[in-house]
Structure 1
Amino acid sequence: MLFQKLILVISSACILPFGNASPVAADKSQSQYGRPFIHPGALHTKKDIERVKGHVRAQEQPWLRAWQHLESTKLAQATWVPTPQSILVRGRSTTNASVPSENYGYAYRDAHSAYQLTIRWLIGGNETYADRAVVILNSWASKLVDIQGTEDKYLAAGLYGYQFANAAELLRTYRGWAYSDQRAFGVMLNDVFAKYSRDFLDHHNYKPDFYYANWDLCNIACLMSVGIFNENRTMFDFAVDYWKNGLPGDSSVVVNGALPYFSIANYTEEGSGKTLMQHQESGRDQGHSLLCMALVGVIGQQGWNQGVDLFSTFGRQILNAAEYVAKYNTNHTVPYTPYTSWEGLLPVVSPKSRFDARPGYELLHSHYAELESRNASWSKDYRDYVNGNISANVEGGGGDYGPNSGGFDAFGHGTLMYRLQKE
């Protein structure tokens, strides 16, 4: 059947201001940013897909190698069997025996599989992969009702919420995904993932100025992507404004993932004159520092594809932070200003997890260096370092960076999906 424009019904579990006590149609009015939603329009657009498809069909590099790498991965196979859960658990409670054991690995593996399978369909044209992605998403929509665990449940909401929503946004044009099933998936995104993301951003688990930036960033990314899929302007605009300004109406609340708080110090690099920005997790460890960069890339890209330029916000803070983090993680010295977190004084830029290989820099370098022709030389160096960890010399994705959650926090496959210039 022909694809019908998706109009989702937001159910009663949605917290204000995203809905009310009765089912209502999603707000489809134009936002303050002046344009209707574009679909697909979270991490990738139709134009992006056509560009990548053209490169692969022409057997151009590096896209052909990146495509072949995607084809070879375990999660991108039509034989993948999803494992949906009724209650998603991250963080094992030591005080409440009724909370089930942790099972969040099922969510990130299935979300990555749905994304990779959908990419294989969009680029390669084989509907077998789209059919399997439909099975994955429908299985979660029909079963998941809640997220539990320790405070880590908010990480599950943000990370797997933005990932499931992005997979769904790409699959929404597939004629084999029934309108009723898309609607059910949108309700699940709203009533489970977005609910917890909004709760965290509003209250921070009632522990002010406690959580590091990545907690805010993943939940902002979730609300943006769910807002796009569900055509919920209120949700999308709230997330964008929150990232730019912090908690609406209360500037006294410290929001470490919002740009005014994310920036700790700015430095002018000798020689290049570029700005390097130390961010809120620079003194914690480099694994989380790199996670923050992957997440701000997601936020920037999701805004960009909806006509909202977050990449240039506050003097291009995303670029400035990306260069600082990349420079340090390619074995160079960076300036540092001591600051405090809930753990106390963080006296030096943390060497912990330095030189970790994390996906995300293909997106960042592509936007700033290839699209905008800006100096992102350290980002290129780190991008190349990460790509060098894969035999095909491309950015990998879920399953390529270990079995644990940190290797699944970003979709990756950026050489295929974001690279603009030929080798």
Structure 2
Amino acid sequence: MARRLSAVLAGVTAAALLAAGVATADAGTTTVTAKAAGSGFAHPGVLVSRGQLDFVKAKVRAGAQPWKKAYDAMMASPSASLGYTPTAYKVVQCGPYSNPDVGCGAERRDAFAAYTLALAWYLTGDERYAKRAIVIMDAWSGTITAHTNSNDALQSSWSASVWPRAAEIIKHAYRSWPNSARFATMLRKVYLPMAQADRSSWNGNWELTQIEAAVSIAVHLDDRTLYDKTVARFRKRVPAYIYLASDGALPKPPPGTSIDTRAEIVKYWYGQTTFVDGISQETCRDFTHTGYGVAAISHIAETSRIQGRDLYPEVRDRLRHAMGFLARHATGNLPSWLCGGKVDNRWVGPVTEVGFNALHNRMGVHMPATEKLTVGQRPTGNNNLMSAWETLTHAENRA
């Protein structure tokens, strides 16, 4: 289809293509329609847009930092190998903390490899990377049928948040992908039910990850009804995950649950009884899982901004306070009022780059603690869980 479209458009000037909503690309790419007809969705449009990708490409080609260092790290990673071989499972079985692990790690690694290879193709123009990404996505879309065990919804949603990132770049910025419809069917039939499963009373990073997966799937499927329904779910869930003093004496209860008394809310917040701006439902559990929730919020808001519905102004104060809270308390002694003065795990992963870029660089929010943490972690790599190469894709990227 892409070849036929290119032939039809032969001889048309780049300016005319852009005016018609069609963008041109470098060698190794074909023409691409910016928005699917009648859908209102921008493509590529999950976490990264064409404008953002072009910004990164220009920075890398100029050897500018931190993008060049981040790019070199990505290209040297196993995920970018042209010999990468997927290991697809028919049924992925994941228990608590991936024990048992029957395809859990393989699924996440393969999803991130597909995304890494899609990025590598876009930035280099070498179509071998796109073809390898397609091999990975085709292997899974032709194999998987279900997720099982206690971590089914979370595991599925971790992967389903990433698969569409790769699929968006390949489908909408590369040439024909014969099995793209089968991949879309996989997202709707295998992954979406898990993203919509009721986990509202579980730790908040679960539902936020599910919401990220559902938003990403909705964009790739051009499903406006699903997208609007999921964004509405997001708008209710964020205030129940990150506290602001304006909420009152207690955090907001998670929507759709029976958690509503003071005792129940305190228990849900791991025994915390003093609430200040930016503390999260999982802060006293550990900072790493709290970071997963922060990452999901940032990713959802970023995708929605690309789609023309900017949610950052609505979540700005909660997100900036949450990232600042994590950054300030990641090291040093904790005050006695916070989690009894002890949190066993205060490691904050590579989860702040997207949100920091949006709030600080685009919106001008002063965030010194978050800036120190973010810059100090550069270039962020691939954790095969929530985030990959976000210094490369989002550092100082105002596109």
Instruction: Indicate whether 1:190 and 2:188 are aligned.
Output: yes
Give the match for residue 91 of structure 1: 95
Q: For residues 184-221 of structure 1, what are the alpha-carbon distances to aligned partners after superposition, in whole Å with 9 as ceiling and x for unaligned? A: 10100010111111123xxx3xxx63x11011011000
Give the match for residue 23 of structure 1: none
Equivalent-residue separation in structure 1 for 2:100 and 2:280 (angstroms) = 36
Q: For residues 285-340 of structure 1, what are the alpha-carbon distances to aligned partners after superposition, in whole Å with 9 as ceiling and x for unaligned? A: 11111111111111111111111222121553212211111211144757967xxx
Give the match for residue 161 of structure 1: 160
How far residue 362 of structure 1 moved from its aligned partner, in angstroms, is 1.4
How far residue 421 of structure 1 moved from its aligned partner, in angstroms, is 7.1
Report if aligned partners of 1:361, 1:383 keep a CA contact under 8 Å in 2.
Answer: yes
How far residue 264 of structure 1 moved from its aligned partner, in angstroms, is 3.3
Matched residue type, 2:239: P
CA gap 1:28/1:57 in 2 versus in 1, 3 angstroms: closer
How far residue 276 of structure 1 moved from its aligned partner, in angstroms, is 3.7
Q: 5+ residue gaps in structure 1?
A: 6-26, 31-35, 93-98, 246-257, 268-274, 338-346, 388-393, 398-406
The structure with more helix, counted as a fraction of residues: 2
Report if aligned partners of 1:364, 1:379 keep a CA contact under 8 Å in 2.
Answer: no
Give the match for residue 76 of structure 1: 80
Identity %: 22
Give the match for residue 352 of structure 1: 344
Matched residue type, 1:185: F
Give the match for residue 241 of structure 2: 262
Report if aligned partners of 1:284, 1:349 keep a CA contact under 8 Å in 2.
Answer: no
Q: For residues 140-178 of structure 1, what are the alpha-carbon distances to aligned partners after superposition, in whole Å with 9 as ceiling and x for unaligned? A: 00111111112x101112111111122111211254442
Equivalent-residue separation in structure 2 for 1:115 and 1:2 (angstroms) = 21
How far residue 28 of structure 1 moved from its aligned partner, in angstroms, is 7.9
Equivalent-residue separation in structure 2 for 1:128 and 1:276 (angstroms) = 48
After TM superposition, where is structure 1 displaced by more than 3 Å over at least 4 residues in a row? 27-30, 174-177, 264-267, 330-337, 347-350
Report if aligned partners of 2:52, 2:397 keep a CA contact under 8 Å in 1.
Answer: no
- Please, which moves more after superposition, 283-292 or 185-194? 283-292
> Per the alignment, in what secondary structure is the counterpart of residue 88 of structure 1?
strand
How far residue 378 of structure 1 moved from its aligned partner, in angstroms, is 1.4
How far residue 384 of structure 1 moved from its aligned partner, in angstroms, is 2.7
Give the match for residue 374 of structure 1: 365
Give the match for residue 383 of structure 1: 374
Instruction: Indicate whether 1:52 and 2:31 are aligned.
Output: no
- Give the alignment of 1:287-366 within 5 angstroms: 287-314=288-315, 316-331=317-332, 347-348=339-340, 350-354=342-346, 356-366=347-357
Matched residue type, 1:83: T
Matched residue type, 1:259: V
Equivalent-residue separation in structure 2 for 1:4 and 1:169 (angstroms) = 20
Instruction: Indicate whether 1:420 and 2:396 are aligned.
Output: yes
Equivalent-residue separation in structure 2 for 1:86 and 1:303 (angstroms) = 32
Matched residue type, 1:419: A
Q: 5+ residue gaps in structure 2?
A: 6-35, 247-275
Using structure 2 for the length normalisation, give the TM-score. Answer: 0.78
Instruction: Indicate whether 1:38 and 2:42 are aligned.
Output: yes
Equivalent-residue separation in structure 1 for 2:4 and 2:238 (angstroms) = 38
Give the match for residue 104 of structure 2: 104
Give the match for residue 270 of structure 2: none
Equivalent-residue separation in structure 1 for 2:220 and 2:329 (angstroms) = 36
Q: For residues 111-152 of structure 1, what are the alpha-carbon distances to aligned partners after superposition, in whole Å with 9 as ceiling and x for unaligned? A: 1100111101001111010000000001100111111112x1
- Give the alignment of 1:209-224 within 5 angstroms: 209=201, 211-224=202-215
Equivalent-residue separation in structure 2 for 1:149 and 1:223 (angstroms) = 20
Matched residue type, 2:193: K
Q: For residues 17-46 of structure 1, what are the alpha-carbon distances to aligned partners after superposition, in whole Å with 9 as ceiling and x for unaligned? A: xxxxxxxxxx9866xxxxx10001110001
Using structure 1 for the length normalisation, give the TM-score. Answer: 0.74
Equivalent-residue separation in structure 1 for 2:341 and 2:310 (angstroms) = 30
Q: For residues 60-97 of structure 1, what are the alpha-carbon distances to aligned partners after superposition, in whole Å with 9 as ceiling and x for unaligned? A: 111111111111111111110000111111118xxxxx
CA gap 1:87/1:308 in 2 versus in 1, 3 angstroms: same
Equivalent-residue separation in structure 2 for 1:49 and 1:409 (angstroms) = 22
Equivalent-residue separation in structure 2 for 1:416 and 1:185 (angstroms) = 27
Q: CA RMSD in A?
A: 2.7
Matched residue type, 1:167: A
Give the match for residue 126 of structure 1: 126
> Per the alignment, in what secondary structure is the counterpart of residue 173 of structure 1?
helix
Matched residue type, 1:396: G
> Per the alignment, in what secondary structure is the counterpart of residue 302 of structure 1?
helix
Report if aligned partners of 1:28, 1:232 keep a CA contact under 8 Å in 2.
Answer: no
Matched residue type, 1:219: Q
How far residue 53 of structure 1 moved from its aligned partner, in angstroms, is 0.6
Instruction: Indicate whether 1:136 and 2:115 are aligned.
Output: no
Matched residue type, 1:144: I
Equivalent-residue separation in structure 2 for 1:3 and 1:316 (angstroms) = 47
Equivalent-residue separation in structure 2 for 1:384 and 1:175 (angstroms) = 33
Report if aligned partners of 2:244, 2:318 keep a CA contact under 8 Å in 1.
Answer: no
Matched residue type, 2:235: K
Instruction: Indicate whether 1:241 and 2:232 are aligned.
Output: yes
> Per the alignment, in what secondary structure is the counterpart of residue 179 of structure 2?
helix
Matched residue type, 1:126: D
Report if aligned partners of 1:165, 1:229 keep a CA contact under 8 Å in 2.
Answer: yes
Match of 1:396 among 376, 381, 387: 381
CA gap 1:230/1:45 in 2 versus in 1, 3 angstroms: same
Give the match for residue 263 of structure 2: none
CA gap 1:101/1:420 in 2 versus in 1, 3 angstroms: closer
